[in-house]
Amino acid sequence: MAQTVRSTAVTATPATQADVELRRVVKAFGTEVAVRDLDLTVHQGEFFSILGPSGCGKTTTLRLIAGFETPTAGDVLIQGANVSTVPAHRRPVNTVFQSYALFDHMTVKDNIAFGLKIRRMGSPQVRDRVAEALRLVRMETMAARYPAQLSGGQQQRVALARALVNHPAVMLLDEPLGALDQKLRKQMQVELANLHRQLGITFIMVTHDQEEALSLSDRIAVMNNGQIEQIGTPSDIYDRPSTAFVADFIGDTNLLPGRVDQAYPSQVQVTTDSGLRVLACTASSSDAQTVVVSVRPEKINLSLSAPTAANNCYQGHISHLMYLGTHLHCVVRLGSGETLMVRQPNRAESLGVDTAVYVHWAADDCLVLDPA
Amino acid sequence: MTPAPSPTPAVTWADRLAPRRWLGPVTLLGPAGVWLLVLLVLPTLLILEISLVPGLRLGQPSGGYGLGNYLQILQPVYLRVIGRSVAFAVGSTALCLLLGFPVAYWLALMSPQRWRNLLLVAFILPLWTSSLLRAYAWTTILRPSGVLNAMLAAIGLPTQNWLNTPTAVFIGLTYSFLPYMVLILYASLEKLDTRLLEAAADLGASPRQSFWKITVPQILPGIAAASLLVFISTLSDFVVPTLLGGASSMNISRLIYNQFLGPTRAWGFGSALSMVLILAVSLAIALLIRYGDRNTVTET
C-alpha cells in the first residue's frame, strides 16, 4: 500500500488534513427532515464512526457523502473539493453496503474487478490488484465462486475487497457487521481494524452498535434526531458525555434528575428529585439549575458493610439480580425510593434478592449534565 | 402421480402402495391428467403415426410406414414457408422486446407507485378481448381505404396498401404479443435489487454502464423467458398471418391448416409438418427452462 503512515494525531489536531467535510448540511425528504444543520470534519486516515439509534439520520449522512443523496442545503467536501452536486460514480469514495449488494451474476473475482474495469485499467494490473485485495481479506481460494456459494462472513469480505481494491480516498461502511452473528462480528472487528491500519485510508462507519464504535473508532459522532449530539474520542464519549442522551445511549447509565444546591470549582452539590444529596463533577461551565446526574453502573461500588470514606453513599436493598458470568447485574432500590443499576464483578460475596447493601461512588465517577 | 419412493430400506412395498400415499395426489391430479391424456397426449401420438404414412390422403388407401412426409418438407417451397414463419417470429419478438422493454422499465422502476397497478392493467387490457376480433380490427386500419391511409393522406404522406403484406403481419403479431412481453419483463424488473445499481454507481459505473453490466444481466432470465414465450406464440400463430398477411404470408400454421382442410387433404404431410412445429416449440420451451433459471446465467 502506498500510504503506510497512519495519522497518529487523530484527535482533532488542527494540522491534520480534512478528508471529508460537511458544512451546515440539511437533508429533507418531503416534510421529513432526516439531517439538520450538520457540521462534520473527518480527518485524513481516521477511523470515524457515526453512531446513533435507528432513524437518527446516520445512514442518510453516509449516503450524502457517497453521493446517493444530494443535500437540500449545505455543502459536502471530499479532499477539499465541493462534491455536493457530483453524482456517486464520480466521487473518490467506495462503500461497503449493509446488505453487501454483491453482483450475484458475477464471480467473486469479477465483483472485485468491477470498479477497476469500469475505470478501464489494463488487465494485468487488474489481475494484480484483485489478487492483492483477495489476499488482504484472506479470500484467495474463493475467487472463482459466486456470491450465493459464500457464507455471510465471506460475502462481507468480498464486499470489503470490492471497495478497497479501488484505493479510494475514503471508505464508507454502512453497518458493515450488522448481518453477522456475535462471534463472527468480533472477529471481523479485529480484521476491520487491521485493514484500516494497513491501508491508512479514511474509514467512515455507520453503526448502531456502541461497542463496535467504541472499540474500532478514533473518533465517534453520536447522532440523534438528525443532529450531532457529540463528537469525540471513545473515552470522551463514554467518560465525558456532553448530553444526557449520549450518556444514556453509550453504555448503561443511571440518570438522576435534580437541582444544583451549591457549585464548587469543577464540582457541584445536587439534590435529586427523590431527595438524595449527590456530589458530582461538572464537565461544562453550564450554570443550569435543573440538571441530571449520570453515574455508570460499573462505577458504583456495592458493599455489605458501611464503607469508610465515600462522597456518595446510600443504603438500599437488591431488588433484582442477574447473573452474567463475569459480572452480576443488580438493581438496587434505595431507601429514598430510587432504583440504581449496579454492575459488580463476580466475587464470592453472598448477594441475593433482598440483601441489604450500601452503594457508594466517588464524586469523580459521576457527572452533571444538562437534561435532555 | 405418487411421490418418489424413499430409498430407505425400512419402507416396505405394502407401505409404498398404501392408499394414504397415493390417494391425495391421484385425486388432485387425476381429472386434469385424464383430460390431458385423452385430448393432448393420445391425439399427438395419433398425429405422429399419421405423419409416418407417406402420401396419406383422406379416403385413399395407404402404402405402409415411411419417412416420405418428412422428406417432402425439405422441398424448397416448404423450406421457404418454414423460413418465413421463423422470420415472422424472430422479427416480431425483436420488435416486442424493443418496444416492450422501455415500457416495462418505466412501469417497474420509474412510474408513480400509486398508479402502477392501474397502468399495468391498462396495458394488459387488450388481452381480455378476442385475438380474432383484434385482428379484424386491424384489417379496417390497414386496408387501402382504412384508417392508417386516411391519416397518412391527411398529413400529406403517400398512401399504400398495407393489408396482405408481411409488414401487416409484423404489425399484427407485435401488437398481439407486446402485452405478454411487457408483463414478463415487468415482473422481472420489479424484482431487480436497486441497491445493486447503487453499488455499481459507487464503484464508478455511469448509469449507462450500470444498465448494461448490472440491469441487463440481472434480468436476463426475464428477457429470455419473455422472448421465448413471444417467439413460440408468434411462430405458430394462425389468425394474424391469415387475416392480415393474405397470400404473401403463408406460414407453417396456415400450411398445416391447408393440408387438413384445404383441397389436397394431405393428412400425412400435414401431420409431419405438425410434428416439426411441435418439436420446434418443445425445443424453445427446453431453452426457456434452461435459461429462465437465474443460476445458470453466466457472467457477461
Q: What span, in angstroms and rounded, lies between the C-alpha atoms of A198 and A160?
A: 14
Q: Which residue matches cell numbers 465462486?
A: A145
Give B188's contacts in chain A (Cβ within 8 Å).
Answer: none
Q: Which residues of A touch B295 (CB under 8 A)?
A: 148
Q: Which residues 6-65 of B have a C-beta within 8 angstroms of A? A: none
Please name the member of A89, A97, A166 whose beta carbon is closest to the beta carbon of B195: A97
Q: What is the pTM of this model?
A: 0.77
Which residues have C-beta within 8 Å of that of residue A154, sequence separation ≥ 6? Answer: A139, A142
Q: From A112, which residue of chain B is nearest by alpha-carbon distance?
A: B203
Tally A–B CB contacts below 8 A: 68
ipTM attached to this prediction: 0.79
Per-residue confidence in pLDDT tens, chain A, 372 aa: 344 444 443 444 444 577 899 999 999 998 889 999 999 999 999 999 999 998 899 999 999 999 999 999 999 999 989 999 999 999 999 999 988 999 999 999 999 999 999 998 888 999 999 999 999 888 889 999 999 999 888 999 999 999 999 999 999 999 888 878 888 888 888 888 988 998 889 999 999 888 889 989 999 999 999 999 999 999 989 888 888 889 888 888 898 888 888 888 888 888 888 888 888 888 665 667 888 899 999 999 888 888 877 778 898 999 998 888 888 899 999 988 889 999 988 876 778 888 889 999 988 888 888 876
Closest CB to A114 among B193, B203, B220: B203
Which residues in B lie closer than 8 A to residue A87 (C-beta atoms)?
201
pLDDT of residue A4: 42
Determine whether the interchain pair A119/B204 forms a contact, defined as Cβ–Cβ distance below 8 Å: yes
Q: What gap in Å lies between CA A271 and CA B95, rounded to an integer?
A: 81
Give residues with Cβ within 8 angstroms of A117, minimum separation 6: A126
Q: Do B199 and A107 touch (CB under 8 A)?
A: no
Q: Is the Cβ pair A166, B203 closer than 8 Å?
A: yes
Cα–Cα distance for residue pair B190/B184, rounded to 1 Å: 10
Out of B195, B217, B297, whose CB is closest to A101?
Answer: B195
Helices (H), chain B: 13-16, 19-36, 42-51, 68-73, 76-105, 116-124, 131-142, 147-154, 166-190, 194-202, 207-210, 216-235, 239-240, 252-261, 267-291
Question: In the structure grid, which three cell numbers stand for residue B268, read together?
Answer: 400425412
Kindly compute the dihedral angle of the four CA atoms of residues B229, B231, B232, B236, in this order, to the nearest 10 degrees: 140
Q: For residue A141, give Cα distances in angstroms to A126, A133, A164, A185.
A: 17, 12, 18, 22
- For B167, the grid coordinates are 409488414
Is B204 in contact with A66 (Cβ distance < 8 A)? no
The answer to whether B202 contacts chain A (CB < 8 Å) is yes
* Cβ contacts of B192 on chain A, cutoff 8 Å: none
Contact list in B for residue A95 (CB cut-off 8 A) is: 198-199, 202
What is d(CA B268, CA B271) in angstroms, rounded to the nearest whole number? 5
CB atoms within 10 A of CB B21: 15
In eight-state DSSP terms, residue B293 is S
pLDDT digits (tens, 9 = 90+) for B28-78: 998 999 999 999 999 999 889 888 877 777 666 667 777 878 888 888 888
- C-alpha closest to that of B198 among A208, A284, A210, A87: A87
The contact set of A with B (CB < 8 A) is 66-68, 87-90, 93-95, 97, 99, 101-107, 110, 114-115, 118-119, 148, 162-163, 166
Does B200 reach chain A within 8 Å, measured CB to CB?
yes
B196 and A CB contact within 8 Å: yes
* pLDDT of B8: 55
Q: For residues A293 and A302, what is the distance between their CA atoms, to the nearest angstrom?
A: 19
Residue at grid coordinates 447522532: A223
